[in-house]
């Protein structure tokens, strides 16, 4: 009896561990809360506790830089998959317009325990919306999280729309709303904080044929939060 009791007790940690790593399925809805900003294709990733798509206060990885400056999520997606992550890419099938939502349904997280979300904001030089390693609750239910916009710290916020977007090419790739200006001289040529940090928001101006910015301050400024995320754990 004594031996049997010890064997039974020694099996308990394994049974408990098996229960804790059981797969969860989640639905994720992302809503763009801004007045006039667009989100580039979203990356929604379920991963382990040691994986991070970005970290505030740290230097951006090349993969993060490519996403924040040009909207390219492929590098981040591949890096996450290499750690065992499960991704949902581009659920909006393109840009996510102001006040619009995108849904990821029935994402099987497998044994992954944390959720991250990123997408570039347009028109900006290197701003992105981000959720960093949010721990997925084990209890079924609906959870709401509000997200800030971050600056990748990899490019000066000159606010000139010139088709840039490749890492190291100064400028904004595009203004999807077509409601900005042209001929800007540039707000700044330097970035003093070269780590990931909370974005100051676009400065902009109201001169549509010149001025310092091609961004219209009446349309493209924002205050945090910039996104609402509703996660349903099943």
Tell me the pLDDT tens digit for each residue of 64-121: 999 999 999 999 999 999 999 999 999 999 999 999 999 999 999 999 999 999 999 9
In this prediction, residue 141 has a pLDDT band, given cuts at 50, 70 and 90, of: very high
CB-facing half-sphere around the CA of 46: CA atoms within 13 A: 21
In this prediction, residue 22 has a pLDDT band, given cuts at 50, 70 and 90, of: low
* pLDDT the model gives residue 19: 42
What does the radius of gyration of the chain's CA atoms come to, in whole angstroms? Answer: 21
Tokens matching residue 50? 């040691």
Average pLDDT over residues 31-40: 98
Partners of 30 in beta bridges: 102, 229
Asked if the model's pLDDT at residue 20 lies above 60, the reply is: no
- CA separation for the pair 81, 63 (Å, rounded): 13
Asked if the model's pLDDT at residue 6 lies above 90, the reply is: no
* CATH 2.60.40 is right for the domain spanning 23-233: yes
């Amino acid at each position: 009896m004594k031996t049997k009791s010890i064997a039974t007790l020694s099996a308990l940690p394994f049974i408990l561990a098996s229960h804790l790593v059981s797969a969860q399925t989640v639905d994720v809805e992302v809503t763009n809360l801004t007045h006039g900003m667009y989100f580039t294709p979203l990356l929604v990733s379920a991963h382990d506790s040691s994986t991070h798509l970005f970290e505030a206060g740290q230097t951006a990885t090349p993969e993060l830089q490519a996403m924040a400056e040009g909207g390219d999520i492929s590098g981040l997606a591949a890096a996450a998959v290499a750690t065992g992550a499960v991704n949902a890419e581009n659920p909006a099938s393109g840009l996510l317009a102001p006040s619009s939502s995108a849904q990821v349904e029935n994402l099987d997280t497998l044994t992954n325990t944390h959720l991250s979300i990123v997408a570039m904001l347009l028109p900006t030089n290197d701003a992105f919306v981000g959720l960093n390693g949010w721990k997925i609750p084990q209890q079924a239910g609906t959870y709401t999280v509000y997200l800030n916009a971050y600056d990748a710290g990899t490019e000066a916020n000159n606010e000139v729309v010139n088709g840039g977007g490749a890492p190291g090419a100064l400028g904004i790739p595009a203004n999807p709303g077509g409601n900005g200006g042209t001929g800007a001289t540039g707000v700044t040529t330097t970035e003093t904080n070269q780590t990931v940090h909370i974005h100051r928001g676009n400065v902009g101006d109201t001169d549509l044929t010149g001025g310092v910015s091609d961004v219209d301050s009446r349309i493209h400024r924002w205050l945090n939060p910039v996104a609402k995320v509703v996660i349903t754990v099943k």
